Amino acid sequence: MTIPTAPGATTPAGAPYVRIDHLTKRFGDFIAVRQVSLEISRGEIFCLLGGSGCGKTTLLRMLAGFETPTEGAIYIDGTDVTLVPPYERPVNMMFQSYALFPHMTVEQNVAFGLQQDRTPRVEMKDRVAEMLSLVQLSGYEKRKPHQLSGGQRQRVALARALVKRPKLLLLDEPLGALDKKLRERTQFELVNLQEQLGVTFVIVTHDQEEAMTLASRIGVMRAGEILQVGTPTDIYEFPNSRFVADFIGSVNMTEGKLVEDEPDHVLIDCPQFGAAVYVDHGVSAPPDAQVSVAIRPEKIQLSREQPEQGHNVLSGVIVGIAYLGDVTRYLVRLPTGFVLRVTAPNVYRHEERLEQDETVFLRWHESAAVVVTR
């Protein structure tokens, strides 16, 4: 079963470093992971994104070796590691709770993995020192975990996992426990670190922003299956299903019937809009098919004057305004009763802002709408 990808997206070059082949995990009658196949390239940051219960954590744990797959196989750098225990895999994990050993110092925590490999003492000391300076914790060697702040603990956990130079680093909700400012800073630090070391990352998260910022490619999961794999742009601009379109960011979604289907454009009659939507590319669907149309809020523009374009124009009444500083979010009700979300950047500091209950025109570019057939 090939993973549906968006038009324009290509699978990364080079042989897959991590290959997951029809992986399934059953707990009794419950199927947590369903026939998942995936390929991850060396040096990538791959993100598994999904809500709770979608199976992403189970998948991660199977990669780490803490769960044995019911069916399927996992290959890392060509070797079948499906049944290899976690202490023998070239895979290391950064746990959501960090899992720092409370009775050991920072130094001892980071050195633990090297100790298991019986690394000679001198080399071990060097590598630990090097790692700690990389995560900017030099000087904290003798501290114990309870003497560190949340962000510091995370860096220790990271150092501990990376010091063994694993082939694959797994991260379980890495930014979840951090507050907003720290999260932003850590996001960039993580990406920099990864670029420096070249380790392949697989991240599991439910936070879209985390996924979009960190990942080079994202796999959206739901109910044990991967719905779409692609770069953040692919996922956002070219969702392959209603679920993916709805899951990432906000979206205006409506149903419609294909009334014109040409290779270079389609026209979809949308009763909820009370008008037809013009899209500037072809869609592979049978004639008169029922499709979904998705338009992102930032792709719609509002104006008091009637726009000049012919297609993709609507008018409605503003029923809600949320001023967020950098953007303003509007809710516009169409004559049909359907409410559209529109996000407009606040380009000017002084301008005549649109107000509640004003009648406005909405327009979007002919390439803005996404047609989704499933």
Partner 1 sequence: MIRSLGRIGRGGEAGLGRWFVIALPYFWLALFFLVPFLIVLKIAFSNVQLSMPPVEPVVTWATDKVLQVRLHFANFAFVLGDSLYLAAFLNSIQIAAISTLLALLLGYPMAYGIARASGTWRNILFLFVVLPFFTSFLLRVYAWLGLLGRNGPVNGLLLKLHLISEPLQLLQTPFAVYLGMVYSYLPFMVLPLYSAIEKLDLTLLEAAADLGCRPTRAFFAITLPLTREGIFAGCLLVFIPAVGEYVIPALLGGPDTLMIGRVVWDEFFGNRDWPVASALAIILLAVLSGFVLLLQKVQSREGAGP
Partner 2 sequence: MIGRRSWLVFSALVFGFAFLYVPIVSMVIYSFNASRLVTVWDSVNSPTVAWYVELFSNHEVLDAARLSFQIASVNATGAVILGTLAAFALERYTRFRGRALFQLLTTAPMVLPEVITGLSLLLLFVALEQWVGWPSGRGATTITIAHMTFSMAYVIVVVQSRLATVDRSLEEAAMDLGARPRKVFFVITLPLIAPAIASGWILAFILSWDDIVITSFVSGPGSTTLPQLIFSKVRLGVSPDINALATILVLIVTIGVSVLGYYMIRRDRRLLREAQAVMEATP
Residues contributing to the site for partner 2 (CB under 8 A): 64-66, 85-88, 91-93, 95-97, 99, 101-103, 112-113, 116-117, 146-149, 151, 160-161, 164
Of the candidates 61, 58, 16, the one whose C-alpha atom is nearest the C-alpha of residue 167 is: 16
**Nearest approach, Cβ of residue 14 and partner 1 (Å):** 31
Residue nearer to partner 1 on the CB measure, 27 or 323: 27
68 binds, among partner 2, partner 1, none (CB under 5 to 8 A by kind): partner 1
Residue whose C-alpha is closest to residue 258's, from 285, 296, 294 = 285
CB of 127 to partner 2, least distance (A): 13
Q: How far is the CB of 173 from partner 2 (least distance, A)?
A: 12
Q: Which 8-state DSSP code applies to residue 103?
A: T
Output 89 or 153, the one with its CB closest to partner 1: 89
Partner whose footprint covers residue 18, from partner 1, partner 2, none (CB < 5 to 8 Å by kind): none
Question: Quick one: tokens of 256?
Answer: 């419609």
Nearest distance in Å: CB 85, partner 1: 4
DSSP string, 220-231: EEETTEEEEEE-
- The least distance separating partner 1 from the CB of residue 60, rounded to whole angstroms, comes to 13
Give yes or no for a contact between 332 and 302, defined as CB atoms under 8 angstroms apart: yes
**In the complex, minimum distance from the CB of residue 211 to partner 1, in angstroms, rounded to a whole number:** 24
Can you give the binding site for partner 1, defined by CB under 8 A? 27, 65-68, 83, 85-86
Nearer to partner 1, 27 or 188 (CB): 27
DSSP-assigned beta bridge partners for residue 47: 203, 218
Please provide residue 220's backbone torsions phi and psi, each rounded to the nearest 5 degrees. Answer: -85, 125
At 114 the three-state DSSP class reads helix
Q: Whose Cβ is closer to partner 1: residue 84's or residue 321's? A: 84
What HEC string does 168-210 produce?
Answer: EEEEECCCCCCCHHHHHHHHHHHHHHHHHHCCEEEEEECCHHH
Of 101 and 323, nearer to partner 2 (C-beta) is: 101
Helices 106-116 + 150-162 axis angle, to 10: 20
Residue 113 binds which entry of partner 1, partner 2, none, CB below 5-8 Å type-dependent: partner 2
CA distances from 295 to 167, 246, 328 (A): 40, 10, 17
Nearer to partner 2, 186 or 252 (CB): 186
Residue 164's binding partner out of partner 1, partner 2, none, with CB under 5 to 8 Å set by partner kind: partner 2
Using CB atoms within 10 A of its CB, is residue 14 exposed (0-12), middle (13-18) or buried (19+)?
exposed
Shortest separation between residue 117's beta carbon and partner 1, angstroms: 17
Q: Which one of partner 1, partner 2, none is in contact with 192 (Cβ closer than 5 to 8 A by kind)? A: none
